[in-house]
């Protein structure tokens, strides 16, 4: 596998020069995970960050009672945990577990941080990427605090629905998705039944078909309005 070619698919690496890419590659390793296997546990020392070549990883926090809250679902061609290199004593605030078989590139955080110190341009590139993540978190906080579970689910389905296709498989199972959207499994099932009864969609297992996209957009409209407000605030296009 060509590590350098894979790294160049990630936004934070696209503007690195050849010498920097060679340096990152020198300190990078390939890691494979089976479905259900842990990459790291909450509290482990965060001396690496990761790029997902293929597969899906869930990042979650565990409660003392044994429950879990999914913080993020990371899919292929995405990086995660890079911001932790800026902490004085970095440790992972979440656990990472493979939802599907995964291949990742593991990158040395300490060496990458040293490279940032040597290049102001690269440092600003990284800060820009972290700012994008912060903007996404702000949007999510607004959605969780101001908008209904039905609206959040509708907005999610519109985001993952392929262009010019109304039938698709969810990228994760419904239980994982419910946790990611901060919806209880019971409420999630009730929302699906309501949307089905209204003729907006049909569901069979993990397969969804959108029957009335306009109605789904109206259901998700509150989240869309908030996206426009954030776009104005940050002067950038929200993806």
Query: What is the SS3 string spanning 79-103?
Result: EECHHHHHCCCCECCCEEEECCCEE
More confident: 88 or 91: 91
Segment 1-5 shows an average pLDDT of 80
More confident: 136 or 63: 63
Nearest Cα to 156, choosing from 141, 140, 145, 142? 140
| Distance linking the first and last C-alpha atoms of the chain | 30
- pLDDT for 6 beyond 70: yes
Segment 139-156 shows an average pLDDT of 74
Alpha carbons 39 and 20: distance in angstroms, whole number = 26
CB 91 within 8 A of CB 45: yes
Q: Which fold has domain 3-119?
A: Jelly Rolls (2.60.120)
Alpha carbons 109 and 115: distance in angstroms, whole number = 10
Nearest Cα to 143, choosing from 101, 192, 180, 105? 180
Q: What is the pLDDT of residues 183-232, one digit of tens each?
A: 888 999 999 999 999 999 999 988 999 999 999 999 987 554 444 443 33
- pLDDT for 97 beyond 80: yes
> Up-side HSE of residue 185: CA atoms within 13 Å toward CB?
5
- pLDDT for 47 beyond 90: yes
In DSSP notation, 99-166 reads: SS-EEEEEEEHHHHHHHHHH-HHHHHHHHHHHHHHHHHHHHHHHHHHHS-HHHHHHHHHHHHSPTT-S
Alpha carbons 52 and 171: distance in angstroms, whole number = 15
- 230 Cβ contact partners less than 8 Å away, ≥ 6 residues apart: 135, 138, 139, 142, 238
- pLDDT for 235 beyond 50: no
- pLDDT for 29 beyond 70: yes
pLDDT band at 239 (very low <50, low <70, confident <90, very high): very low
Alpha carbons 4 and 28: distance in angstroms, whole number = 10
Q: Which fold has domain 147-234?
A: Arc Repressor Mutant, subunit A (1.10.10)
**φ/ψ of residue 141, rounded to 5:** -60, -45
Identical fold for domains 3-119 and 147-234, yes or no, is no
Provide the pLDDT for residue 3.
85
Sequence ranges of the domains in the chain: 3-119, 147-234
Tokens of 137: 């978190």
Provide the pLDDT for residue 191.
94
């Amino acid at each position: 596998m060509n590590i350098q070619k894979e790294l160049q698919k990630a936004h934070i690496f696209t503007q690195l020069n050849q010498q920097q890419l060679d340096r990152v590659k020198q300190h990078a390793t390939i890691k494979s995970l089976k479905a259900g296997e842990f990459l790291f546990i909450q509290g482990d020392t965060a001396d690496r960050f990761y790029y997902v070549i293929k597969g899906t990883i869930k990042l979650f926090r565990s409660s003392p009672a044994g429950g879990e809250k999914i913080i993020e679902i990371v899919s292929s061609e995405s990086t995660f945990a890079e911001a932790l290199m800026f902490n004085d004593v970095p440790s992972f605030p979440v656990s990472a577990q493979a939802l599907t078989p995964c291949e990742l590139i593991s990158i040395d955080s300490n060496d990458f941080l040293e490279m940032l110190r040597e290049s102001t341009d690269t440092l600003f590139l990284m800060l820009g990427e972290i700012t994008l993540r912060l903007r996404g978190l702000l949007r999510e906080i607004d959605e969780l605090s101001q908008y209904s579970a039905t609206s959040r689910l509708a907005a999610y389905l519109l985001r993952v629905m392929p262009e010019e296709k109304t039938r698709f498989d969810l990228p994760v199972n419904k239980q994982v998705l419910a946790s990611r959207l901060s919806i209880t499994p019971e409420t999630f099932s009730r929302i699906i039944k309501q949307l089905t009864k209204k003729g907006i969609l049909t569901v069979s297992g993990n397969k969804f078909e959108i029957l009335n996209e306009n109605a789904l957009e109206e259901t998700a409209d509150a989240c869309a309005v908030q996206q426009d407000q954030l776009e104005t605030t940050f002067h950038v296009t929200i993806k």
